[in-house]
Amino acid sequence: MTPNTTPRAAKTTPTSHVAPADPTAPPSAQVPLPAPYAPVGRIPVTEVFPVIEDGRWPAKAVPDEVFPIRATVFREGHDRFGATAVLVRPDGSDGPSARMYEVGIGLDRYEARLAADAPGDWGIRVEGWSDPYGTWAHDAGVKVPAGVDVALMLEEGARVMERAAAVPGRDAADTEVLRAAAAALRDESASPTDRLAAGLAGEVMAVLDRLPLRDHVSPSATYPLQVDRRRALAGSWYEIFPRSLGAHRDEQGNWHSGTLQTAAQRLDRIAAMGFDVLYLTPVSPIGTTNRKGRNNTLNARPDDPGSPYGIGSPDGGHDAINPELGTFEDFDALVMRARELGMEVALDLALQCSPDHPWVTEHPEWFTVLADGSIAYAENPPKKYQDIYPLNFDNDPEGIYQAILQVVRTWISHGVTIFRVDNPHTKPLPFWQRLIRQVRADNPEVLFLAEAFTRPAMMRTLAKIGFHQSYTYFAWRNTKQELTDYLVELSQETAHILRPTFWPTTHDILTPFMTNGKVPAFKLRAVLAATMSPSWGIYSGYELAESVPRPGFEEQIDNEKYEFKQRDFGAARVNGIEDLLTRLNAARHAHPALQQLRDVWFHATSDESLIAYSKRVDAAHSATGKDDVVLTIVNLDPYGAREGEVYLNLEQLGLPGWVDGSRPVLRVTDELTGDTYEWSGQNYVRLDPFAGRVAHVFSVEPL
């Protein structure tokens, strides 16, 4: 919409409940303040959204991401009023704005949709205002036909038109429309009915809709909005254990580790599938004390490489490279090769230590010492991790903070732009809030992904205090109702707080659905993850549908955390998963609709194993200048074909609600096969996983 440049009341600064603090200072140095006195506006504005705890933490967005701004706006008496949503740029100037429209009829709830155009610390403000034109139009529309105060009402209308014509920023053509309306209202040669009609004409209303006349402008507080780079919202991740890429057995059957060099030589295949984030598990030295063997056994064989999460040895700690993998020069070369192929590098940040980590001897106070004098190892019952010691953040928190900050800065200096943080919910939240704030101040391009499969309150709060993305419960949402409810929650209720990433499996997670469903399950879950969430990822080996669990656990047997994996990706192409991944990522790159979270709509189906949903970006916010609509239909049953009717909500697909849904009204093209169909409001589909078709991913165009 055209930016609203009507003069506004004096700008307000963001409401703050915390004294300004140096980002390098610990949270304990921030002084809590009472909530400030806030007088109600002349046109009250309350319950602004998206706002997190009255602005305690910023809402989230990325450039060009369209998001709703809502507020409750009302006034005393019967005069008309309006509301405007405004984005405030990082420099304090007003950015994009739009008039708000009532969405909760009778509840005074108003909404507009806006998008920021650059990263930075923005703000959100809502302005209530008195609407002189709306008030006059209502009163004149009642009085003039009734013959009451006719001359007075027409003159009042002419004066409103003149005031509106003088609003700064009004273009010449619109100004002339208003002046002509004023003249017509005063034309005594015309009938009162015709004079009134001139003031209520559609073109007059359109002009005042674009740039209204506003009295008693009453701004809300300016609430914080953190606009991150686009990768914070959308990306396709591919996880590797670098040591497995190039690992091999010699003639005597002894294993030899892959290296950063051999991994770099194998990135072309990953990039060819369209992935744009290369995620590396830890590459630091691995301890030997209590080193785990195959399948998490306590007795490692001589050639067992150990878990890369058992960080630290005499070769160094978190800021060193495992000598078996190579050097920092090799790491830099891998990062450079990934960038040449269009991928950025994410690195695992796992804050625990092997018993051989230098910190154990240099800073024993950083760990928990038990009554028998031993250091406590990590546990996540029923899992035990005897090969790692968790840090105790209550012992010398400042020393631990500075050491970890230096670790993060080391990897940033070597080209890491994303950190996938292992189990952040087991560390104090003030630590993360301070660390992420400091890193953002120094390197705003760096992102943090929380691997926190835990309670909702913890996951949301990690997002509130700074994490840019979060793992989710997607892996355990399998039915149509579960998926629908979960995506509605993520897209409508928490999108301004928590940005989800969908992973069908990880190196730690293999659900029974994947174990039992085999190749069809891997295919359909890839489609769901890639089309439901703007950020998604797979763990290396997904292409082979590796699905055999370790008995008693929801994780793979012969887990790559404890051994080398030598995979035949060429032979795996027979099952079609690699081709599917490639086509899914191509569709994501081609369609902005699949790179956004907030606009998703579910469509009814006649079979509960068929799920249908669409995503849409309107023309005003699409890079192509046209509506971008993608409709996905997935067979959720990996064991057999499903067929039925799909009942489309045509209005949500960009077609007027009154279109006859019984005749073809749109063309759909399957991004997975290239097949094209003409569809109406009700359509038959059949999806057979054993015939190679688990889903349709349709781009949609009106006929």
CATH number for the region 37-130+216-227 comes to: 2.60.40.10
CATH of domain 132-213: 1.20.58.80
- Supply φ then ψ for residue 229, to 5 degrees: -65, 160
Element (H, E) at 198: helix 192-199
**What was the pLDDT predicted at 5?**
37
Helix axes 202-210, 172-185, angle to 10 degrees: 130
In the structure encoding, which two tokens stand for residue 509, read together?
A: 């997670």
- pLDDT score for 16: 40
Q: What secondary structure does DSSP assign to 616-666, as a single string?
A: EE-GGG-TTSS-EEEEEEEE--TTS-EEEEEE--GGGGTS-TTS-TTS--E
pLDDT at 18: 39
Structural tokens at position 623: 């890079």
Q: Rounded CA gap, 15 and 55, in Å?
A: 7
Say how far apart CA 697 and CA 58 lie, in whole Å: 34
Note whether 394 and 323 are within 8 A (CB).
no
Structure tokens, 245:
């890429």
Packing angle, helices 202-210 and 150-165, rounded to 10? 40
562 is in an annotated binding site: yes
CA distance 583 to 630: 14
Are 210 and 1 within 8 A, CB to CB?
A: yes
Whole-number CA gyration radius for the chain: 30
Enzyme catalytic residues? 422, 451
Nearest to 616 by CA among 598, 634, 599, 591: 599
How many other C-beta atoms lie within 10 A of the C-beta of residue 703?
Answer: 11
The annotation status of 561 as a binding-site residue, yes or no, is yes
Residue 423 counted as an annotated binding residue? yes
Neighbouring residues of 98: CB distance < 8 A, sequence distance ≥ 6: 1, 4, 84, 85, 112, 113, 114
Q: Which residues of the chain have pLDDT under 70?
A: 1-33, 35, 657-661
CATH class of segment(s) 230-240+274-323+346-576+583-589: alpha beta
Element housing 457 (H / E): helix 456-464
For residues 126 and 221, what is the distance between their CA atoms, to the nearest angstrom?
Answer: 8
Element (H, E) at 336: helix 328-340
The span from the CA of 394 to the CA of 386, in Å, is 21
Amino acid at 698: F
Domains 230-240+274-323+346-576+583-589 and 594-702 share a fold: no
pLDDT of residue 17: 38
Domain ranges of the chain: 37-130+216-227, 132-213, 230-240+274-323+346-576+583-589, 594-702
CA of 283: how far to CAs of 241, 319, 337, 347, in Å?
9, 9, 17, 8
Angle between helix 150-165 and 132-146 (nearest 10): 160
Amino acid at 19: A
Q: Is 60 annotated for ligand binding? A: no
For residue 501, give the nearest of 523, 477, 532 by alpha carbon.
Answer: 532
Q: Determine the pLDDT at residue 25.
A: 64
Token digits of residue 310: 């058992």
Burial string for 417-437 (b: 16+ CB within 10 Å, else e) reads bbbbbbbbbbbebbbbbbbbb
CA distance 60 to 217: 27
Backbone angles phi, psi at 118, to 5 degrees: -160, 155
CATH class in words for 594-702: mainly beta
Q: Which residues contact 65 (CB under 8 A, 6 or more apart)?
A: 115, 116, 233, 596, 598
Which residue reads 């409709």 in tokens? 631
Asked whether residue 565 is marked as a ligand-binding residue, the answer is no
Using the 8-state DSSP alphabet, how is residue 311 labeled? Answer: B
Q: How far apart are CA 489 and CA 499, in angstroms?
A: 12
Q: Which helix (H) or strand (E) holds 448?
A: strand 447-451
Count of C-beta atoms within a 10 Å radius of residue 687: 22
> Is beta strand 67-73 parallel, antiparallel or unpaired with respect to 101-104?
unpaired
